[in-house]
C-alpha cells in the first residue's frame, strides 16, 4: 500500500482534538487533586452530564440558530452547580478521612449520576447538532477537516490560557497554588480553605461539563461515555504528573497523538499504547513528566 503522508496530517489534527478534550477533562481532575488531594473518580460523570445538558438545551432552544452557543454557555454552569452541591453535601465530610474512602465515595457517585442520567434522559442514543456556522469543512494542505475540529482546538487553547491567567495572575490562583503546597499554613493565615475547595471543585466540574458540551456534536451521547473518558483521563494525569496542570496539557497532547498515530500502526491496539505508557511512567517516573517528586 502506498503511504500517503497527508494521512499523518489528518491523524495529527484529529489527535490534537482528542488531546484538547482530554486536556479539558484532565486539567479539572488534576486541579482537584492538586488542591484538595482528592481523586475524583466521578469526573467523567460530570462530562456526561454536560453532554446531556447540551442535548436538552439545544433541543429547548431549537428555534434559534444560536442554540448550540446557549448550551455552551449554560450547560457547564449547570454542571458546576451540581458539582458544587456534591462538594458541599458529600465531599466535605471526607477530606480528613482515608484516601481509600474518598476514592470509594467518588466511585459511588459514578453509579448515582449514571442512573440519574438514565432516569432523566433515557437509554436512547442522543445526537447534538453541530452549530451551522461550524458545520462546514476546511481545506488545509490538501486535506479536508471538519471546521468543528478547529473549534475544539481553539477552545482547548483558550482554556489553557485562562488557566494560566487564573493560576498566575489572580489572588484565587495564588491561594490555590498555596494550598496545594501547604494547606495547613493557608488555613492558619486565616483563609477560608473550605470555601476555596468548593470553588475549585466547581471550576473542575465546569471544565468537565465544558468538555462534555464541546464533544457532544462529534459523538453519539450514550450512558457509557462517563467511563470511556475517565480511565483515559487517569492515564493522562498520571503521565503528566498528578496535580500539575501543564503536565496534563503535555500529557493530553502526547496521549491524543499516541492514539491517533497508534491507530495507523496497530489499528486494533491503539488504547494498549496508552496503558503501556502509563504503566511505564508509574514504574519509572511516578511523579510524571512534569511533576515534582512524590510526596
Partner 1 sequence: MTNANKTKWIAGSAVALALIALPFAVETWISQYYLYLIIKIIVWALFATSFNLVMGYGGMMSFGHAAFYGAGAYTCALLMVKTSCPMPLAFLTAPLAAALAGLVIGYFSVKIKGIFYFATLTLSFAQLLYILVFKWRSFTFGDDGIQGIASPALLSTLDTYVNYYYFALVVSSICFYIMWRIAKSPFGMILRTLRENPERSTFIGVRIQRYRLSAFVISAFFSGVAGALYVFLETSVAPDVFKWSVSGEVLLMGLLGGMHVFFGPALGAVIMVLLNSFITSYTEYWGLFIGITLILIVLFFPQGVGGLINEQLRSTMNRKAA
Q: Tell me how long the chain is.
A: 295
Of the two residues 158 and 279, which places its CB atom closer to partner 1 in the complex? 279
Residue choice 98, 141, 184, 190 for contact with partner 1 (CB under 8 A): 98
- Asked if 280 contacts 287 with a C-beta cutoff of 8 angstroms, the reply is no
Per CB under 8 A, the list member of 6, 59, 65, 97 interacting with partner 1 is 97
Q: What is the DSSP letter of 136?
A: S
Q: Which three cell numbers stand for residue 101?
A: 474512602
DSSP H helices, 182-224, are: 183-188, 193-215
| Binder among 235, 250, 258, 260 for partner 1 (CB under 8 A) | 235
- Can you tell me which of 2, 5, 100, 265 binds partner 1, judged by CB under 8 A? 100
Could you say which DSSP state residue 2 is in? -
Give which of 61, 57, 85 is closest to 72, Cα–Cα.
57
Interaction pattern, residues 35-54, with partner 1; x per rule: CB under 8 A: ----x---------------
Output the CA–CA distances (angstroms, integers) from residue 201 to 42, 216, 233, in the order listed: 12, 22, 17
The answer to the question of residue 268 lying near partner 1 (CB under 8 A) is: yes
Q: Is 278 in the site for partner 1 (CB under 8 A)?
A: yes
- Which grid coordinates belong to 43? 469526573
Q: Which is nearer to partner 1, 107 or 137 (CB)?
A: 107
Give me 247's grid cell: 503536565
Binding flag, residue 26, partner 1 (CB under 8 A): no
Question: Which three cell numbers mark 272?
Answer: 494498549
Name the residues that contact partner 1, by CB under 8 A.
33, 39, 90, 93-94, 97-101, 103-105, 107-112, 114-116, 118-119, 227, 231, 234-235, 238, 242, 268-269, 271-272, 275-276, 278-279, 282-283, 286, 294
Amino acid at each position: 500500500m502506498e503511504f500517503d503522508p497527508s494521512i499523518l496530517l489528518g491523524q495529527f489534527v484529529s489527535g490534537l482534538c482528542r488531546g484538547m478534550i482530554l486536556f479539558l477533562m484532565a486539567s479539572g481532575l488534576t486541579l482537584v487533586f492538586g488542591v484538595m488531594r482528592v481523586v475524583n473518580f466521578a469526573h467523567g460523570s460530570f462530562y456526561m452530564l454536560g453532554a446531556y445538558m447540551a442535548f436538552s438545551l439545544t433541543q429547548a432552544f431549537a428555534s434559534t440558530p444560536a442554540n448550540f452557543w446557549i448550551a455552551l454557555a449554560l450547560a457547564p454552569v449547570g454542571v458546576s452547580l451540581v458539582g458544587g452541591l456534591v462538594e458541599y453535601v458529600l465531599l466535605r465530610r471526607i477530606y480528613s478521612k482515608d484516601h481509600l474512602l474518598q476514592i470509594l465515595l467518588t466511585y459511588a457517585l459514578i453509579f448515582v449520576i449514571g442512573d440519574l442520567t438514565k432516569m432523566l434522559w433515557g437509554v436512547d442514543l442522543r445526537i447534538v447538532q453541530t452549530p451551522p456556522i461550524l458545520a462546514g469543512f476546511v481545506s488545509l494542505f490538501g486535506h479536508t477537516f471538519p471546521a468543528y475540529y478547529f473549534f475544539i482546538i481553539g477552545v482547548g487553547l483558550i482554556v489553557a490560557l485562562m488557566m494560566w491567567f487564573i493560576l498566575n495572575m489572580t489572588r484565587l490562583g495564588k491561594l490555590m497554588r498555596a494550598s496545594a503546597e501547604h494547606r495547613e499554613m493557608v488555613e492558619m493565615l486565616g483563609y477560608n480553605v473550605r470555601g476555596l475547595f468548593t470553588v475549585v471543585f466547581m471550576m473542575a466540574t465546569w471544565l468537565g461539563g465544558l468538555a462534555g458540551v464541546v464533544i457532544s456534536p462529534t459523538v453519539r451521547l450514550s450512558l457509557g461515555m462517563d467511563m470511556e473518558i475517565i480511565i483515559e483521563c487517569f492515564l493522562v494525569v498520571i503521565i503528566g504528573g498528578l496535580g500539575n496542570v501543564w503536565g496534563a496539557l503535555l500529557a493530553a497532547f502526547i496521549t491524543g497523538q499516541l492514539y491517533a498515530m497508534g491507530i495507523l500502526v496497530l489499528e486494533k491496539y491503539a488504547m494498549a499504547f496508552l496503558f503501556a505508557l502509563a504503566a511505564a511512567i508509574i514504574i519509572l517516573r511516578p511523579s510524571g513528566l512534569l511533576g515534582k517528586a512524590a510526596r
